A and B are shown apart, each in its own frame.
Chain A
Amino acid sequence: MAVAARTRSTLAATGRAAADPGIEAPWFARIPTGVWLVGAVLLTMPAYANNFVLFQVFGWSFILGIIALSLMFLAGYGGMVSLIQMTVAGLAGYMVAILGPSGTEQISLGLSWWIYLPVALAVATLFGTLVGTLAVRTEGIYTIMITLAIASAFFYFTRQNYTIFNGYNGFTLVRPPDLFGVDWRQPVPFYYLSLACAALCYAAVVYVARAPFGLALQGIRDNARRMAALGYNVTAHRILAYGFASVLAAVGGVLLVWQNGQIAPGTAGIPAVIDILVIAVVGGLRRPIGPFIGALIYVVLSSFAPDILTAFGLEPDRFKLIVGLGFLAAVFFSPDGVLGLWDRWQARRARRPDPLTGKVP
């Protein structure tokens, strides 16, 4: 399966503008209309959506989308299918619960947000980078196996360890800080918080994909040996890519623990790890919007699965069956996920004969 993410050659556009300055449009004018529309809908969402939709459907979609986005960055641009991203997110969530205040007072240190937030992000990023350092020593499907093995080791460890991770019970009553006098766990504030984080992460990936770092990563995906022959330290580059992706995953993890209000080993258990892969693949690994589409589909399905299942005369708790079959369908019929379907539909529409002339463009 080709998980090659392609980006339009905006570098080329910049280059041309360099030769002929003055024709380059301002950056905001280059954003397509579709993005403006989606942005407007998302920003005004609280005006017409209920709290469940805001908090549970969109809030959760943004969070899962951010974590899946970090996988998309590694897989789509770097050719490395890493299953460690959910674990990185989980670790960030755990750090928030351990360093900050929580209901498990004998462990939680109750530090203030400006200490625990950066430390949580840094620890999770460091962990993800270290895992990357191990994973990049091998290639291809080995990456999946190694990251899956490490992810499961983390899961079993958190379940076993009571001194730091509080074992089975994990941490409850983890609340976001009351910054600016706002209770960020209320549906509307949380909706905007997760939307802002998702938009930032999305923009960061889109931007970096065209920066030297992201371009070189795509070069390494296409042909690692040739990149070494252009002066790139392929191993270091891949490890740094893990680092970058870990920052995204860690942001997702912090939001996740705030949204759930609790964290336990199952948060980063094997099913959760696999779900992130499912989300990214079903959405599409070729463009950064894919993971968000996948996450929305996943969340909608899981929120309304009982209704859907009973409508088809099945038991209401067979949600995983739908997820598995949907994933299989995506891998079998549209390896590029929903985005791939969209692209194909657009291509077919473009090839449709012109109604006036009857010619195929």
Chain B
Amino acid sequence: MSVLDSPAPSSRLASVGATAALELRGVTRMFGALAAIADVSLTVRPGERRAVLGSNGAGKTTLFNCITGDILPTSGTVRLFGEDVTRFPPYERIRRGLRRTYQISLLFPGLSVADSVYLACRGVSRWRYSLLRPRTGDPLLMRTAELIEAVHLTPARDRLVSELSYGQQRQLEIALALAGAPRLILFDEPAAGLSPAERRELVEILTTLPRHIGFVIIEHDMDVALRVAESVTMLHNGRVFKEGAPDEIEDDPEVQALYLGGAHG
């Protein structure tokens, strides 16, 4: 965080340091009479890597949707970097440094890889409505090239997204999430459907992210989730069931009975 690098009065420094990247307070989302998530409170520090685990229907994706603003919570507050964004539309949250990837690949079939990544960079910059084409040497074009390189898609940069393989689309998802200056990324099952080799590549990409970028990851693959996360939140029936370090959660008998045993036994 650049704010932390700059010299500042100790009181302000303390307050900035205390500001969570993401803070949920009593977030509830009802679908009819059914609570998809109920009274979820969660705090993610800047730069923290958190895994959210839980069986199908535990409310993980609803939680993400409430954080990004794709749906609004029925009650409770969502704060991003200290700011109450509960009622903000998604694009306002994105412009504040939040990013997200989608479980089902939701990309732009009619655009090329380069265009998609360029749009992601442009979306959080000024001039996103510009009618002028980028000029040669535009820093965003450089950044686009870097990002494509970072997710190993350079050979496919001019291909249409609809022509990419599934694994490549997942890599492109990550590139889109890394565009701009993300401070907190929500990864929704990034490893789903990937081959073991692609999973190793994914873990490498996630663990080598710059330290100031925090993320929350939903992942069924426990190997992936526990290797990249520093802390774990267990959801069960829409409620926070356990929180702790990866090894604590792994060893917890209740968790094992509920989740690890059920899903992977």
Contact = CB atoms under 8 A, between A and B. Distances in A.
> A and B touching (C-beta < 8 Å)?
yes
Interface of A: 4-6, 9, 11-12, 14-15, 17-19, 21, 24, 207-208, 210-213, 215-216, 218-219, 221-223, 225-234, 237, 240, 244
A215 B118 contact: yes
A78 to B, nearest CB: 12
B129 A15 contact: no
B180 interface: yes
B144 A15 contact: yes
A232 B123 contact: yes
B130 A230 contact: no
Contacts of A15: 114, 118, 141, 144-145, 157
Interface string B148-160: 0000000001101
Nearest to B140: A212
Contacts of B132: 211-212
Contact of B179 (A11, A17, A208, A230): A230
Interface stretch (B101-109, B219-227, B241-249): B101-109
Interface in B86-134: 89-91, 94-95, 99-100, 102, 106-112, 114-116, 118-120, 122-124, 127-134
Interface centre among A222, A228, A229 (most CB of B within 10 A): A229
Given A215-B118, A232-B119, 10 more contacts: A12-B115, A14-B133, A15-B157, A212-B130, A216-B123, A218-B108, A226-B107, A230-B94, A232-B123, A240-B129
B139 to A, nearest CB: 9
A231 B124 contact: yes
A359 to B, nearest CB: 24
Label chain B's interface by main secondary structure: loop
A19 B146 CA distance: 11
Contacts of B157: 12, 15
B142 interface: yes
A24 B136 contact: yes
Closest 5 CB pairs of A and B: A231-B123, A230-B123, A231-B94, A222-B108, A12-B114
B89 A233 contact: yes
A122 B137 CA distance: 35
A231 B109 contact: no
Contacts of A244: 131
A148 B101 CA distance: 38
Given A9-B112, A230-B123, A18 B141 contact: yes
Highest count of chain B CB atoms <10 Å: which of A12, A210, A216: A12
B134 A11 contact: yes
11 contacts: A6-B110, A14-B136, A14-B141, A15-B114, A18-B142, A211-B130, A212-B130, A222-B111, A223-B108, A229-B68, A230-B94
Contact of A11 (B70, B94, B133): B133
B90 A229 contact: yes
Given A21-B137, A212-B128, A231-B128, A218 B118 contact: no
B91 A231 contact: yes
B130 A213 contact: yes
A216 B131 CA distance: 11
Contacts, number: 140
B216 interface: no
B142 A227 contact: no
A227 B142 CA distance: 21
B129 A229 contact: no
Contacts of A208: 131
Nearest to B148: A15
A237 B130 CA distance: 11
Contacts of A9: 112, 114-115, 158
B115 A225 contact: no
B176 interface: yes
Instruction: Find the residue from B110, B124, B145 having the highest chain A CB count within 10 A.
Output: B110
B251 interface: no
Q: Which of B89, B120, B124, B127 has the most CB of A within 10 A?
A: B120
A203 to B, nearest CB: 12
Interface string B53-66: 00000000000000
B5 interface: no
Contacts of B99: 229
A302 to B, nearest CB: 33
Given A11-B118, A222-B109, A229 B131 contact: no
B143 to A, nearest CB: 10
A237 B131 CA distance: 12
A260 to B, nearest CB: 31
B91 A228 contact: yes
Most-contacted residue by chain A among B100, B112, B157 (CB, 10 A) = B112
* Residue in B106, B111, B112, B144 whose Cβ sees the most chain A Cβ within 10 Å: B111
B73 to A, nearest CB: 17
A223 B107 contact: yes
A225 B114 contact: no
B57 to A, nearest CB: 22
